[in-house]
A = this chain, B = another copy of it.
Amino acid sequence: MTDTAWLDETEMAAWRAFLSTSHLLERRIEEQLKAAAGLTHPQYEVLARLADAPDRQMRMTELAKGVVVSKSALTYQIGQLEKAGLVERTTCPSDERGVLAVLTDAGVRCLERVAPGHVEVVRAYLIDRMTRGELETMTAAMRKTEQALRQ
């Protein structure tokens, strides 16, 4: 415990920049989605993931892992989206205890309506401010961390 490998200037700057930026961006996205459609960011992510999935449906646990929220948070959010008519629950045919979240037609339309504004923000603040090279470098770096954190 005595020989801690502290972060040097460069490393600390990198960490702080990463941390602040991710929080600031999260905030901005949340604000935009709330204003545009009354959605939270996790809710949007759920819709987006489902839209990409085969048959527009996914298992709860799989979805939770993709969106990176706890199982209980997902249960809650799917409940909200269900109330809003954007998602439906079905019991999984192959596994009786499983639940499939299915994107409804209303959900598809909602996503189509909201996506442009959302992408706009992601682009304006993050993507379009990087060169192609930076983009690829960052992705590579993020992927390494992501992989490590997913075990």
> Which residues of A come within 8 Å of B, CB atoms?
1, 4-7, 10-11, 13-15, 17-28, 45, 68, 115-116, 119-120, 122-127, 129-130, 132-146, 148-150
Contact = CB atoms under 8 A, between A and B. Distances in A.
Q: At the interface, is chain A mostly helix, strand, loop or mixed?
A: helix
Contact of A150 (B24, B115, B124): B24
A77 to B, nearest CB: 14
A148 B128 CA distance: 12
A6 B123 CA distance: 9
B23 A123 contact: no
Contact of A17 (B27, B115, B146): B146
A-B pairs with the 9 shortest C-beta distances?
A17-B142, A22-B22, A23-B68, A24-B149, A4-B116, A129-B144, A21-B142, A14-B139, A137-B137
A140 B145 contact: no
B119 A6 contact: yes
Given A119-B6, A123-B7, A140-B134, A145 B25 contact: yes
B139 A17 contact: yes
Given A1-B116, A145-B129, A149-B28, A10 B68 contact: no
A21 B149 contact: yes
